[in-house]
Amino acid sequence: MVLSDTAPAARPLLHRPRRLRTSPAVRRLVRETRLHPAQLVAPLFVRPGRGIREPIASLPGQARLSVDELVIEAHRLAELGIGGLLLFGLPAAKDPEGSGAWVEDGIVQTALSALRAADLPLVLIADTCLCEYTSHGHCGPLLPSGTVDNDPALALLARTAVSQATAGADIVAPSAMMDGQVAAIRAALDAAGHPTTAIMAYAAKTASAFYGPFREAADSAPAMGDRRGYQMDPANGREARRETALDVTEGADILLVKPALPQLDVVAATRAAHDLPVAAYHVSGEYAMVHAAAERDWLDARAVLTESVTAIVRAGADIVITYAAADLARWLTEEGATTP
Ligand code: PBG
């Protein structure tokens, strides 16, 4: 008997994965990860003025909006079924402490009150940080050595969170990466009569080069030095787990991983280790580089952004903060039953 008579190829293959890839309908039926507009959060930049929609060159399709334009934008996002908004403020003036972050008539506070009055089905999330408001661009007050003084920063962040909750934020999102910020904010919110305001903690936020376009958009690049003294080293996965566990102990309600694609392992580990909702921030650089390549016809922006956000959800994110939120929601609605 010759060997080829019994060669495995002659037997029928028991499992042929391609059976489940034969048509759009079959692929849609067995698809494991589905995007929905309700899981998307749109970051928005609010600035002083009226009737202003100032395009952000580094973030195609995004603009710095005055409060009236922000409310119009929010109506549009609500109609698209987007889950929520994450607000960043560009104050009229900056100072070394960053007082624009917590004053009652601050830009984000004004925006929150206007959005609250519009009563839209959107979760209002406020970024709780000081770097957009400090004259030096760091996330807290500086010691003479130039490093951020951790504990005084906590008091200012707590004050900022309370002012945002008072103005109408459903969720505050501390992004300064100061040690103890979640506990300090939780205690301050409770003491100020805001026990139901939730905290979305930037649990694992690295000192990432992908924030470049954001710093241009928010005018928040540090005047000197960098943020490596408080943001995590992107090389450290175990440290991300420690940071996240600390935030859970301190009272975080939602765990945020940022940036998203460079940290899919951290998203998956966070999902596996905790039962709290996991959010991932698909940041400015992740969005801008897709558009830059698409402008050269090197990539298809719609396909790449859809694949990127799908991967982030597949890795374990329940919520994705992305500048592509409105586009994705539109594409998802258009696609309907015809997903390829
Ligand atoms: C504030 C903050 C930053 C981002 C969100 N909150 C900038 C930074 O840490 O330098 C970046 C978001 C993005 O790149 O889209 N600390």
Is 205 assigned a catalytic role? yes
| Residue 127 Cα to ligand 1 middle (Å) | 9
Domain residue spans of the chain:
34-334
pLDDT value, residue 9: 61
Query: With contact defined as beta carbons under 8 Å apart, do 263 and 241 qualify?
Result: no
Q: Report the CATH fold assignment for 34-334.
A: TIM Barrel (3.20.20)
pLDDT value, residue 326: 98
Nearest ligand 1 atom to the CA of 284 is 15
Query: In testing the pocket of ligand 1, which one of 85, 214, 227 has its CB within 8 Å of the most ligand atoms?
Result: 214
pLDDT value, residue 225: 87
pTM: 0.94
pLDDT value, residue 337: 43
Is 94 assigned a catalytic role? no
pLDDT value, residue 285: 98
pLDDT tens-digit profile, the chain (340 residues): 555 555 556 678 888 999 999 999 999 999 999 999 999 999 999 999 999 999 999 999 999 999 999 999 999 999 999 999 999 999 999 999 999 999 999 999 999 999 999 999 999 999 999 999 999 999 998 999 889 999 999 999 999 999 999 999 999 999 999 999 999 999 999 999 999 999 999 999 999 999 999 988 888 888 888 899 899 999 999 999 999 999 999 999 999 999 999 999 999 999 999 999 999 999 999 999 999 999 999 999 999 999 999 999 999 999 999 999 999 999 999 876 445 5
**Per-residue DSSP letter, 61:** T
87-115 pLDDT, tens digit per residue, is: 999 999 999 999 999 999 999 999 999 99
The one-letter amino acid code at 65 reads: L
pLDDT value, residue 167: 98
Query: In testing the pocket of ligand 1, which one of 62, 202, 211, 263 has its CB within 8 Å of the most ligand atoms?
Result: 211
pLDDT value, residue 224: 86
Q: 286 in ligand 1 pocket by Cβ < 6 Å?
A: no
Q: 244 in ligand 1 pocket by Cβ < 6 Å?
A: no
Q: 42 in ligand 1 pocket by Cβ < 6 Å?
A: no
Catalytic residue among 258, 271, 282, 291: 258
pLDDT value, residue 223: 85
| Residue 293 Cα to ligand 1 middle (Å) | 22
pLDDT value, residue 3: 56
Cα 317 to Cα 54: distance, rounded to the nearest angstrom: 31
pLDDT value, residue 5: 57
Cα 196 to Cα 250: distance, rounded to the nearest angstrom: 16
Q: 77 in ligand 1 pocket by Cβ < 6 Å?
A: no
Angle in degrees, CA 87, 205, 282, rounded to 5 = 60
Residues in the chain: 340
Cα 162 to Cα 180: distance, rounded to the nearest angstrom: 16
The secondary structure element, H or E, covering residue 302 is helix 301-315
